Structure 1
């Protein structure tokens, strides 16, 4: 039976409207406060504040049926491995700025060397393989689904057949790893007697297809090799390294990487490394079988998740955590959040200090590290209908007297001095305070608060100082 893909209903008609939004707020004391703001036709930003937990949730609702709106997996620096201190990682605000994306969240887990842990597949091209026993989120123009994806790969040269242990990752003892130009470098994960086979590729490394290549050279006694555009490098050790060493320049190679569990014709993009939250509309958490421990699943942490509704709308959701105004969520609580948004399939992504959500020029959530964490990849929303920067000048105004433990309201004013409607403004605050989407600023501690707003394609920022002895940002955690 073919996997079920949740598809979109009738597409919403896109218009040429500028950025605007509708702000709503719940009146009952026991219900979350909710603001919704339209980013562009087909994409809405939602903030929920539940003061009883407490918990702050940031969510993007996407309708992929709207022309121009699409969700793409994005590698932070364009390469898995960087040659500088970033190790190929980057922050969300940089990704939004460099790609022109209108919104985005952090995505998969990553290792100390910067390589993605779990699936990262772009238009059927494999950048990182799925993690054993863990679920992934697969999507395409008509919707998406959570799936169990499995893979296998091999390199064949005449009678030589070398099974692959990984794609675009460092090679440890007795492994064979195939690296594409996406990796940037072919790395040894420890062994010094590593073998690198540099090949000229006939095309990208697409799943479920034969890819032809030709051996260019065999490199020994060298731990790392730079990969050029249009090249593959097979990096091997042990018995597989001996097989690789026997290959000769000019030899023809056939590469094959197969997968099962995902219908790539319908959902050519894949991201994730567990944990499933929702399955067929019901809570489907099984973090033990996906090899997560209780500290990950049963404790409250910042979380990032992706889900899909019965009509094919996709939700990208971030819950703040480890902070006074937001404790975070357990996996069970995160599943409840996704159910409340009408998701019938949902998957948790990387969380903790990695959890980030951004709109245009601002990060709207408060990362628990006290600053943006550099991560390996993102889910970015690309879209049309967003007017270019208006050229208008704006100013953030706040009361002159500020004190820790109090709340105040900040206002964005245009050149004429008129207040810009909050429905048009996406607020952000880092440091000693946090802000909701009505512009109410809560001052947590003495120190500086960096308040930013994104309006009509323009980022506006100011720094407010709360009197008293400043405290350091929280120490980073996973």
Structure 2
């Protein structure tokens, strides 16, 4: 069976001039042209479609899946060039599939245009990949050039080959007001190593509130950014904190005043204060639990209980702690011990569970802690963060007071985050007080990604006054208008532990 590597492509992702996605586009024609550097296939549509692209394991067959298109006016044409071996067609269950079989050693780039609406595919040798990408941004003539004897010379070549003056003038910036107080922006530019494609959502905080949201509403758990956004009725969302494989949040996180996640490191965070203002800076968590006369430090909140540890489980963790029988758990309601269990305690909606193991368990046991004992949970994150009602801890810091300030070294980030180019996500606030979600694609033909410093420089370029880095790589995803705007590097959305969302006030 042929194995396909799937790449999801939103046709309108880079063309923000289109006011909305079209689900009933009509395919009118397919045209082809061969130039000195690449071959081009052009699909003419009545509206901009949404489509997916799948590449076979051997890299030879590219399948374009056009969803819900009307092909009644389309005439199937045979195409064979020195770079394209064949083009075939199939229609099944509301999908129209176009399979392009490329010659050996070829690579491809996909693009689209509006007014009129076109999707185009450039095929070029892999060694000329960068040149093909530049060409993929080149406008296509509105109509096929008629063949005449006179055009068999240089005129025909000029008509079929992209002209130097037709090639785009990088950088390309497209902006669109998608709702009152909500701006969508795509910025594409080229550096010495190729294309970089970035996506922005900028919101007026007077119209939209910002808060973290958990995957499926609980910890542990994982869900796509688009799934989290739809579940919370968000107008926009971006992936947020780092997370473990099971979805446990790895970062100091507070939602509507309740701590839902912690970390051992002092890391940069973004916060929302009670008056709606935004704050940035390093945050650390220090907690203690006092049962009767014994006080012990908190190892973490809503995380796996480790050896000799004391972990707090609150309602963000779900219905029960799910712990093993090698510890002891104190269920706290109204400031007193309500129950004592060996494991897997039900988490009260109006309280929390203190789960202890090893030396922590022994300390409470020796003191004779019992049902009815007064209990005090103290959480200290620093004066500013104690007042914050929303916190997303991720890091490192990228921008401070309008200047690049990358603090990856001070925050002890590992090399896979600290060094190299990658897909990146960030949250920031502009000089005018707007909150901004930003994602840069990476590890792909249309965008090679950025280092942390390059990412910070991009944010400063667009007027960001303060910003922190969020989880990146395959997790980077930016949602708005009912869909993911960028192209995640995994080929599809990765399930993450949390998202930062915008909700209309």
Please tell me the TM-score bracket, short chain as reference: 0.5 to 0.7
Partner of 2:379: 257
Residues 60 and 316, structure 1, Cα contact 8 Å, conserved in 2? yes
Q: Deviations over 1:334-389 (max 9, x none)?
A: 101111111121100000111001113211111111111111110111126xxxxx
Residue 42 of structure 1 is aligned with which of 167, 181, 197? 181
Find the aligned partners of 2:406 and 2:438 in 1 and give their Cα distance: 17
Q: Does residue 347 of the first structure (1) align with residue 468 of the second (2)?
A: yes
Alignment of 1:359-370 (within 5 A): 359-370=480-491
Shift of 1:20: 8.4
Q: Does residue 58 of the first structure (1) align with residue 199 of the second (2)?
A: yes
Shift of 1:263: 5.0
> What secondary structure does 1:369 align onto?
coil
Find the aligned partners of 2:394 and 2:385 in 1 and give their Cα distance: 18
Find the aligned partners of 1:248 and 1:314 in 2 and give their Cα distance: 48
Residue 289 of structure 2 is aligned with which of 145, 155, 159? 155
Residues 169 and 187, structure 1, Cα contact 8 Å, conserved in 2? no
Partner of 1:177: 311
> What secondary structure does 2:227 align onto?
helix
Q: Does residue 164 of the first structure (1) align with residue 286 of the second (2)?
A: no
Residues 156 and 254, structure 1, Cα contact 8 Å, conserved in 2? yes
Find the aligned partners of 1:150 and 1:291 in 2 and give their Cα distance: 14
The 3 A distance-change label for structure 1 pair 118 and 93 is: same
Residues 143 and 313, structure 1, Cα contact 8 Å, conserved in 2? no
> What secondary structure does 1:347 align onto?
strand
> What secondary structure does 1:333 align onto?
helix
Gaps of 5+ in 2: 1-18, 22-113, 115-136, 138-165
Residue 139 of structure 1 is aligned with which of 263, 268, 272? 272
Alignment of 1:121-270 (within 5 A): 121-140=254-273, 142-184=276-318, 185-188=320-323, 193-200=326-333, 202=334, 213-220=335-342, 222=343, 224-245=344-365, 246-260=368-382, 262=384, 265=387, 267-270=388-391
Partner of 1:90: 223
The 3 A distance-change label for structure 1 pair 293 and 261 is: farther
Residues 302 and 322, structure 1, Cα contact 8 Å, conserved in 2? yes
Shift of 1:264: 5.0
Shift of 1:228: 3.6
> What secondary structure does 1:31 align onto?
coil
Greater shift after overlay, 40-49 or 125-134?
125-134
Residues 177 and 236, structure 1, Cα contact 8 Å, conserved in 2? yes
Shift of 1:187: 4.6
Find the aligned partners of 2:230 and 2:434 in 1 and give their Cα distance: 25
Q: Deviations over 1:36-88 (max 9, x none)?
A: 1222211111111224431111111111123xx1111101111112xxxxxx1
Shift of 1:142: 4.2
Residues 240 and 394, structure 2, Cα contact 8 Å, conserved in 1? no
Moved over 6 A (4+): none
The 3 A distance-change label for structure 1 pair 277 and 170 is: same
Shift of 1:30: 5.2
Residues 118 and 130, structure 1, Cα contact 8 Å, conserved in 2? yes
> What secondary structure does 2:281 align onto?
strand
Residues 394 and 470, structure 2, Cα contact 8 Å, conserved in 1? yes
The 3 A distance-change label for structure 1 pair 106 and 367 is: same
* TM-score normalised over the length of structure 1: 0.67
Indicate the structure with greater helix content: 2
Partner of 1:101: 234
Residues 40 and 383, structure 1, Cα contact 8 Å, conserved in 2? no
Find the aligned partners of 1:364 and 1:219 in 2 and give their Cα distance: 47
> What secondary structure does 1:225 align onto?
coil
> What secondary structure does 2:201 align onto?
strand
Find the aligned partners of 2:212 and 2:375 in 1 and give their Cα distance: 29
Q: What is the total number of aligned residue pairs between the two structures?
A: 341
Partner of 2:211: 72
The 3 A distance-change label for structure 1 pair 134 and 30 is: farther
Residues 178 and 232, structure 1, Cα contact 8 Å, conserved in 2? yes
Residues 57 and 319, structure 1, Cα contact 8 Å, conserved in 2? yes
The 3 A distance-change label for structure 1 pair 153 and 264 is: closer
Partner of 2:247: 114
1 or 2 for the larger relative contact order (CA 8 Å, sep ≥6)? 1
Find the aligned partners of 2:223 and 2:263 in 1 and give their Cα distance: 22
